[in-house]
Amino acid sequence: MDHLSFDCDCTYASGFRLEARFTAGTGVTALFGPSGSGKSTVLALIAGLLRPARGVISLGDRTLTDTSARVHLPPEHRRVGLLFQNHCLLPHLSVRGNLEYGMKRRSSGRFRFDEIVGILELRDVLARQPHELSGGQKQRVALGRALLSGPELLMLDEPFSGLDEPLQERILEYLRRVLSEYQIPTLLVTHTPAHVHQLAGRVIHLDAGRVVATGSPEEVPGPRPGRS
Amino acid sequence: MLTLQELDAIRLSMIVGATAVAGSLPFGIALGWLLARYSFPGKTIVETLLNLPLVLPPVVTGYLLLATLGRQGWLGGLLDRTFGIRFVFDWKGAAVAAAVVSFPLMVRAIRLAFAAIDHQLEQAARTLGASRIDAFMTVSLPLARPGIVAGCVLAFARSMGEFGATIMIAGNIPGMTQTIPLYIYEQLSVPGGLEASRRIVIVSVVIAAAALMAGEYLDRRGRLRLRAD
């Protein structure tokens, strides 16, 4: 069953044109492609941080964007959790303050603070400031913060970038734990085939702003194991 | 010991400086934010008008204020008739003059502070459920605080030293509009004034240095607290 439907066309000042159409189900869908293929742009459009020139984006039974009907829900009303590539933790708030930021603004009975803190093993760092955390801890806080805002779709923008291999393994383990515990529809942006195979049930292969293939990780030519 | 007239001049300088900063701060934050975050038609004209008091002779600024806020001026006449508020030969006129000449310094510091904030932090707040205003109040404003404090301190120090525009609009009335620079100016026009001004000159230097040091301390403490992620 399709949970997310995306059909957008827009050209940016840099000359880059995104013209993509795809759907995603309730599991983990990987948005795979080389750098500059438009993956992060797709996430920004779904999150409402960018407006398409033309397009329709819907999530469940809600229309997030529909340019012909002049619908553009602001980011705060989309219920889309975005894990930014560089964490984007609020530096003036403690870890607890960061985790509670979204929770205080959106009520969600599904994700409980203590539970998330337990699963992501953040209890010992709740009082710390973001600059006192390691890369892996920052990533876990950012993930916890996104979950606690009660999203109907979780979007992970290159969650392993900048982490060394052992740390990637650990973050992968936390992600698996969270995704199996909450069964939350997820869009994973990555350019690493191994991560597609480890997490995703379906792949959308994006290149130069266009969808070039969709299917299971085994079917889509780009993310075949072995290529990184 | 300081004389009563000297104490009056110091008190008045502090009141004028504090009023100028408090009165212009909301506008400084709004303009700093606007200039740091948005491009709009006429931005260059706004920037030119904003920075004009930095390069205009203070007496010219005073003349323009007098022409606008005097009883014959369009704004001064309106405020006088409607609310009974007068600026000419009044400490409020000195505060407006101080605010106008120090405003560019305040906005420059605040603008730089807003420009230095990673725009993605505000975007992250929006995806977490914060409205545009909420994100501004809970993310941008706290993160810009060191710059805002620095802007306030600079503006206060500049206000304390304001002379040309102040004497044009507020005159030099002891106890009413005579600030520290005006007091020193008056002393220098009488025999032995150079000697007599020594105490208040020292006080003036101490106040300005203390303001700058306090600003530097608060700025450093703020930056440490807000160290980048």
Output the CA torsion sign for B55, B59, B61, B63. negative
Nearest to A89 among B130, B132, B229 (CB): B229
pTM above 0.90, yes or no: no
Here the tokens at position A188 are: 């994973």
**How crowded is the C-beta side of A197, counted as CA atoms within 13 Å?**
14
Residue with tokens 């038609």: B41
What per-residue confidence (pLDDT) applies to A145? Answer: 94
Is the pLDDT at A227 greater than 60? The verdict is no
With contact defined as beta carbons under 8 Å apart, do B180 and B15 qualify?
Answer: no
Q: Is A126 helix (H, G, I), strand (E, B) or coil?
A: coil
Q: Which residue of B has its CA nearest to A92?
A: B226
H or E element at residue A103 = helix A95-105
Output the CA torsion sign for A68, A70, A76, A77. negative
Task: Identify all chain A residues contacting B222, using CB atoms and an 8 Å cutoff.
Answer: none
Is the pLDDT at B113 greater than 70? The verdict is yes
Q: Which residues have C-beta within 8 Å of that of residue B201, sequence separation ≥ 6?
A: B184
Task: Identify all chain B residues contacting A130, using CB atoms and an 8 Å cutoff.
Answer: 229
C-alpha to C-alpha distance for B113 and B110, rounded to whole angstroms:
5
Chain B CB within 8 Å of residue A51 CB: no
Nearest to A84 among B124, B130, B138 (CB): B124
Amino acid type, B198: R
With contact defined as beta carbons under 8 Å apart, do B51 and B90 qualify?
Answer: no
With contact defined as beta carbons under 8 Å apart, do A26 and A1 qualify?
Answer: yes
Chain B CB within 8 Å of residue A108 CB: no
Range B50-71 average pLDDT = 93
Is the pLDDT at A103 greater than 70? The verdict is yes
Chain A CB within 8 Å of residue B228 CB: yes
User: Across all residues in chain A, what is the average pLDDT?
Assistant: 90
C-alpha to C-alpha distance for A49 and B130, rounded to whole angstroms:
13
Here the tokens at position A72 are: 């553009």
C-alpha to C-alpha distance for A224 and B131, rounded to whole angstroms:
42
C-alpha to C-alpha distance for A113 and A90, rounded to whole angstroms:
18
Here the tokens at position A187 are: 């869009």
State the best of A45, A49, A154 to mutate against chain B, taking most chain B CBs within 10 Å.
Answer: A49
C-alpha to C-alpha distance for B96 and B98, rounded to whole angstroms:
5
Is the pLDDT at A226 greater than 60? The verdict is no
Top-confidence residue, A15 or B229? A15
Best CA proximity match to B225, nearest among B153, B217, B125, B133: B217
Contact A105/B124, CB-based, under 8 Å? no
pLDDT above 90 as % of chain B: 80
Q: Is A112 helix (H, G, I), strand (E, B) or coil?
A: coil
Q: Which residues have C-beta within 8 Å of that of residue B135, sequence separation ≥ 6?
A: B122, B125, B126
C-alpha to C-alpha distance for A39 and A43, rounded to whole angstroms:
7
